[in-house]
Every structure is written in structure tokens, then in C-alpha cells.
Amino acid sequence: MRRTALAALCLAAAATAGLTGCLPGSDSADGKPKGPFAGLTGGEIADRAMKATTGATSLRLTGDVPDDESSGTIRIDMALNKKGECAGTMAMGGQGKAQLIKTGDTVYMKYDEAFLRAQGKGDSTSDTDAVVAMMAGKWTKMSAKGKDAKDIAGFCDLNTVLGDTRDLNSDATRSTTTTLDGTPAIVLHEKDGKDLYTLYVATQGKPYLLKITSTSKKDPGTLTFGDYEQRVPADKPQGKVLDLDALGS
């Protein structure tokens, strides 16, 4: 998984900061915004949302993001925090699914057969069959500091995923209000040429990002954000765990 693709969508507001093209907003006739965040422009709301989101110590990401390596899509459902812990699943464009847990300096993964066969394209049938027999449906572990796990370990760090986005100076415009999974939200728009980014920001409690959608040809997709400040269930798997580092030594 490439962090660049995930970050580009995750931080759509940052990527479009400073743009001049905007969609019509929903301000009142006197030019002053009404309703939630009264008196604030869309850009000011977006800036507050990114500060609140990057200030969270943990959250959950769910959605579809492009994968540079396969030119396909990765479906993720991952809880992660600023301690570098994560727990969740990733699916490769309908080609199987893998479970992931990172705690401490160890990355644990469990792959289904479809995932392993998709990753084994180009290998001999006998080699792929052997990998499936050894690993399918079983927990494995690797050192988070090893080259094979480094990219995944980086993704599990919320600081790395969100990056430094506290000062955006966004040009987002206000749109309608809505409700996402029971949470009242305001809709914001950012536009870069033909690319449109839509942000949903909570209007009650902290102004957390709830969802970002992108129509960018480079990084299309949708991510939802939730479970802010909740414990990440990054618990070591029970039972036998296959040590991949020992096998490769």
C-alpha cells in the first residue's frame, strides 16, 4: 500500500488549499453565513476541522482508496492511533482480504486464500499453493522495523497518515447541512479544475471530519472518519502465530 495515495485523499482539503475556483455556497442574502458555524466561511470551517482531526489521538478510517502499485483500489477499515498501533482489514479490489494488527514493534497479519493467490500472480502454481497451505487463515508476524513491514507500519501511525495539516488556509465553500450516521454535519466543497473534493464536518461537539470524497482522476474515492478518541483494539492474536522473519532467516 502506498502512503501517497492514501494521504492525498485523506488530506483533500490540504491538497486544494489556496485554490481560486469555488462552488456556490449557502450563505444568507446579506453575505453572512447562518446556521451551524454562523459567521465562519467554508475555509475557516475546513481549517478548524483539520485542526480537530489532526489533534485526535485515535480514529477509524473506512473507505476505498487508489493503489499506485496495482492501479486498482484498496478497501480499508482501520482503527489507528498516534502510538503507532492499528487494527482492521484491507481488501485488494475484490481479490481477497487481509486482517492487520500492529502493536509495539510487531505487525500481525492474517490473509485469506484469495488474497494470497492474487499476490502470487507470476509465481508458479506449486509455489503459490505452498504459500496458501502455509499461511491462509493463519496469523503471521513480522518485525515492524523490517523492510517488508515498514510501509504497513508507517500507515499504522496516525501522525504519519494525517501529516502536518494544521495551517491550511482553505478556500472551501459552505453548502448544505446533513446527517451522517446520526451525526449532524455541514457539507463543504473544494474545487481544483475538474476535480471536486467534498468534506463533511461535524456540527456538534468537536468539528471533526466525518467524510471526504474526491473526484480527482489521480486519487478518486471516499473515506469516512469515526470512533474518535476510542481505544484501538490492537491486541496480540491468541494461539499459534507464524513467524515470517524466522522463516526468512
Query: pLDDT, tens digit, for every residue of 3-57?
Result: 323 333 343 333 322 222 223 333 444 555 666 898 999 999 988 998 999 999 9
What pLDDT band is residue 149 in, cutting at 50, 70 and 90? confident
**Which pLDDT does position 137 carry in this prediction?**
94
CA distance 106 to 141: 7
What pLDDT band is residue 192 in, cutting at 50, 70 and 90? confident
92: cell is 485488494
Average pLDDT over residues 131-137: 93
Helix spans in the chain (H): 3-10, 12-15, 42-55, 113-119, 125-135, 150-155, 158-162, 244-248
Residue 78 has pLDDT above 90, yes or no: yes
Average pLDDT of the chain? Answer: 80
Q: In this structure, are residues 181 and 166 in contact, taking their beta carbons and an 8 Å threshold?
A: no
193: cell is 479544475
Average pLDDT over residues 86-113: 91
CA distance 209 to 226: 8
The answer to which of 74-83, 185-194, 213-222, 236-245 has the lowest mean pLDDT is 213-222
Average pLDDT over residues 189-213: 89
% of residues, the chain, pLDDT over 90 = 47
Residue 164 has pLDDT above 50, yes or no: yes
> pTM score, two decimals?
0.80
Starting at the edge strand that comes first in sequence, how are the strands of the sheet with 242-243 ordered?
173-180, 183-192, 195-202, 209-214, 221-226, 58-67, 72-81, 86-92, 97-103, 106-111, 139-143, 242-243
Residue 169 has pLDDT above 80, yes or no: no
**Which pLDDT does position 243 carry in this prediction?**
94
Residue 154 has pLDDT above 90, yes or no: no
Look-up of cell digits 466543497 = 189
Average pLDDT over residues 221-243: 94
Which residue, among 25, 12, 7, 64, has the nearest Cα to 216 in the 3D structure? 12
Which residue, among 233, 174, 218, 219, has the nearest Cα to 199 in the 3D structure? 174
Beta bridge partners of 92: 74
Which residue, among 165, 172, 167, has the nearest Cα to 197 in the 3D structure? 172
23: cell is 462552488
Instruction: Find the Cα–Cα–Cα–Cα dihedral 84, 89, 54, 72, rounded to 10°.
Output: 120
**Which pLDDT does position 69 carry in this prediction?**
65
Q: In this structure, are residues 213 and 16 in contact, taking their beta carbons and an 8 Å threshold?
A: no
Which residue, among 164, 165, 172, has the nearest Cα to 44 in the 3D structure? 172
Instruction: Find the Cα–Cα–Cα–Cα dihedral 165, 170, 173, 176, rounded to 10°.
Output: 20
Instruction: Count other Cβ atoms within 10 Å, centred on residue 11.
Output: 23
% of residues, the chain, pLDDT over 70 = 80
**Which pLDDT does position 49 carry in this prediction?**
92
